[in-house]
Structure 1
């Protein structure tokens, strides 16, 4: 097995139990399936595989503890899906908080500076409520426009 492994929490198709699947990051093939989503089964498995150098995981504390106690020599890294997901959520919040500023920039004629937006929030003001989003970043609030 390659010295890097990833793990993913998943629910088998039958029953209401959960399991942890271990994947070789080089070959992208499953290596093993562990019962549950607890730290100890992962730690035990890692103790039996001291060649593991990198563990790719989400931010679940049980997996962090299992990796720490089972393979203290391994570097723990965040998996790509969760990094992109968290980045998307942060971008959505930021755009929502500055919605009026963004609209002012797109409303200004080309070659001119956009006037300051009334929606800017100073340090002494309360932040306005965020517009609601649908999946894929489409606006659904009262100011929603189809041509943006």
Structure 2
């Protein structure tokens, strides 16, 4: 088996230090997963990497507001647990860690998997009152801005 979701989520929860139900917690991850799966299918991205990104990208935050090193910590965490709760090959792990490390930097990527991860996270900016800018999204994600924003503010 390549992936043990329940064990991974429990492991994340055991070390998670901010509010599980806060703006960077489990509800956010569920929306990121939903958006990521939709976008990744359209872009033929790696669905496993996109799913793992959803759960791991904010898993090592110390603060819901300013925490500029959370991406770095999250990438190190993901790298360290590969082989325990999921099994990625070296390219998948590189993509996952890069996406986590740089998800807050405002970059765009030509790699469909990395950009799908970033799109999924950015589409949930409505939870903090921000409408995502299409210039930071793929064409596929740009088409979901209104729907994603409405979902973010209603949940």
Query: Relative contact order: is structure 1 or structure 2 higher (C-alpha 8 Å, sep ≥ 6)?
Result: 2
Between Structure 1 and Structure 2, the one with more helix by share is 2
TM bin, normalised by shorter chain, reads under 0.3
Between Structure 1 and Structure 2, the one with more strand by share is 1
TM-score (norm 1): 0.27
The structure having more radius of gyration, on CA atoms, is 1
